[in-house]
Amino acid sequence: MPNVEETLTNKIKELYPDQIQSWLEAAKERKVGLEEYLYQTNRVSGQEILKIKKEIFKLPVKVFNQDEIIDEKVLTIIPENTAKVYQIVAFDHRNNEVDIGVVNPNQPNLTEAIEFIKTSLRVEPKIFLISFNDFYFAIRQYHLFSKELKGLINQFRERKPYDQTKEIVRLTEEVLPTEEAPVIKLIEFIISEGVAQKVSDVHLEPLSDRTRLRFRIQGDLKTVAYFPKDIHYQLINRIKILADMKIEETRVPQDGRFRAWVEDREIDFRVGILPVAGTEKVAIRVLDPSVGLKRLPEIGVSDFNFDKIKAAIKRPFGMILISGPTGSGKTTSLYAMLQELNKENVNLVSLEDPVEYEIDGVNQSQVKPEINYTFATGLREILRQDPDIILVGEIRDRETAELAVHASLTGHLVLSTIHTNNALGTITRLVDIGIERFLLPQTILLLISQRLARRLCDDCKVKKDADENFKKIINESFKNLPGGLTDKYAKGDNYQIYYPQGCQKCNFKGFVGRIGIFEVVLITDEIKNAVYQGLTEEEVAKLLPKQNFISLRQDGILKALAGLVNLEEIVKIT
């Protein structure tokens, strides 16, 4: 059997020649293999590695759906400890065959372990390759969420019988370890489950007679459990300890963050405590790199826009500005660009509010307005740090805008965000802030506007003929579509669009995650001259068809016709 580590390293080296050496050194420092390091740091997606391993081992691949449940009898064919040692899981059983997912078929002594399963159970093992992500997904099924929660609550109740009249013991007071342990385990389990379900936020909220636990999954809040009311303060206090907050302070809001190892990965959590009606609620933002850090194609940037962005970020100086409303994915897009730019030979510095995801190789600084460390004051300091590339979280005022323009004029590539409705509106916004119009053509390289739409579930979406209203909207939108795309997509009266239905994979919602809708404006010589002359937004827009421009609505409609999103939603958000 081939040496997977050596072969995998060579394949990764072909794809990422500039980064491979630093990754190997970092893996050696952590005393883990390259694949495990890449999983822990999300440098390369699990699916990409799985594809490489399939070429190496010539074995079938198993990918688990987000809500896939492994039958307990099948799962326990392999004891939990054995599964963890050898990084294997049983996931299906038919007659005398058992399907086993394996992370690394070259694992020492794995052959003997498989042979033992074969002879002791009298079954024929069928081996499948699985990613580290799917391995941990399967492992957590040894401890089902609802069953574990019930057990932990029972443990808590054994130590502390319910007493409605007695004041809740706080963790700052002396408490018995046996009394404290169930609460520690409960918070650990809630956080682990949140990470496993790829939630963006965890909410613990006091109700009149109990505490409600809610997860935000794919943009929607979902109630997953209720706890007895008398546990509430102990749960809150445990979170305060983790986030290094003041336990005794219950009158004012508090913010904090902590980092924890979950599923063998480092994950950051941002915590907010809010006083509500005599008690407190907590919201925990889960900053999981495997969910929040994506490459440009992964967030929905199509080929025709990707080429423009790649060309712009290779320029040595200038500004790239992303616009869109709050919650439209601007920061995710900035991080996607950072990952393209993060090379050994550049000094990349960012100024953020807050720093959401920590990226090795990027010098990230968080603004603190309460001590007058703002985007403007921070940007002045950054310019003294010999940067090549600067990321400014947001341009909010004239001072920050002027400094960003100055930085781009003096040989720096500047990435930032700004609040406007469309890409060309960014120019108008900068002029309104107070930037001299003649400076903009010299500095701006690229303008991007974006929105987020829910991605349709591939397993259950249904295709239907578009009605007359939608046909009219599509045909109207396609009038200025670049020629090649018009030939490919324009169908006159023969459009088919997709609708959500709901199945087990998408939790019967019809959608799985979200995808970006983009418009990208390259600042060509013609547009530069138009800006110099002071032409209106509408007049500048007439020049866009010459650069194969795709508007927000057009990009959304193309994604709708491809079955990625629902056209009705695209019409609403664009």
State how far the Cα of 546 lies from the Cα of 522, in Å rounded to an integer.
11
Say if CB 307 and CB 298 are below 8 A apart.
no
pLDDT value of position 568: 92
Report long-range pairs for 472-481 (Cβ below 8 Å, ≥24 apart).
Answer: 473/557, 473/567, 473/571, 474/557, 474/561, 474/567, 477/551, 477/553, 477/554, 477/557, 478/554, 478/557, 480/545, 480/549, 480/551, 480/554, 481/550, 481/554
The backbone region for 249, taken as left when phi is positive above 0, alpha when psi lies in -120 to 50, beta otherwise, is beta
Q: Where are the alpha helices (DSSP H) in 410-506?
A: 425-433, 440-443, 468-477, 483-489
- List, as own/partner pairs, every contact residues 361-367 make where C-beta atoms lie below 8 angstroms and the sequence separation is at least 24, other chains included: 361/22, 362/338, 362/391, 367/393
The dihedral region occupied by 134, where left means phi > 0, alpha psi between -120 and 50, and beta the remainder, is alpha
pLDDT at residue 164, as a whole number: 42
Please provide residue 80's backbone torsions phi and psi, each rounded to the nearest 5 degrees: -55, -45
C-alpha 385: how far from its chain's center?
A: 29
CA distance 446 to 90: 50
Tell me how far the alpha carbon of residue 493 is from its chain's centroid.
Answer: 38
pLDDT of residue 507: 67
- Exposure string (b/e) for 127-144, b if CB count within 10 Å is 16 or more? bbbbbbbbbbbbbbbbee
Given this model, what pLDDT does residue 149 score? 65
Q: How far is CA 257 from CA 65, 254, 283, 397, 478, in A?
A: 30, 10, 11, 28, 47
Give the containing element (helix H, strand E) for 499.
strand 496-499
List, in order of start, the domains of the chain with CATH numbers: 4-139 (3.30.300.160), 143-286 (3.30.450.90), 293-454+513-552 (3.40.50.300)
Residue 387: predicted pLDDT:
92
Q: Which pLDDT score is estimated for 45? A: 76
- From first to last of its 574 residues, the chain has per-residue pLDDT tens of 456 677 788 888 888 887 788 888 888 888 888 888 888 777 777 778 888 888 888 889 898 876 678 888 888 888 888 888 889 999 998 888 899 999 988 887 888 888 888 888 888 899 999 988 888 888 888 776 566 666 666 666 565 554 443 333 332 333 334 445 778 888 888 898 888 888 889 999 998 888 899 998 777 788 888 888 888 888 899 999 988 899 889 899 999 888 888 877 888 899 999 999 889 999 999 988 777 778 888 888 988 899 899 999 999 999 999 999 887 889 889 989 988 898 888 999 999 888 888 788 889 998 888 888 888 899 999 988 999 999 998 898 899 999 999 999 999 999 999 988 889 999 999 999 999 999 999 999 999 999 999 899 888 899 988 888 998 898 888 888 876 777 777 766 788 899 998 877 776 778 888 899 999 999 999 999 999 998 988 899 888 888 889 999 999 999 999 899 999 999 999 8
In this prediction, residue 160 carries a pLDDT of 57
DSSP-assigned letter for residue 283? E
Structure tokens at 177: 């370890």
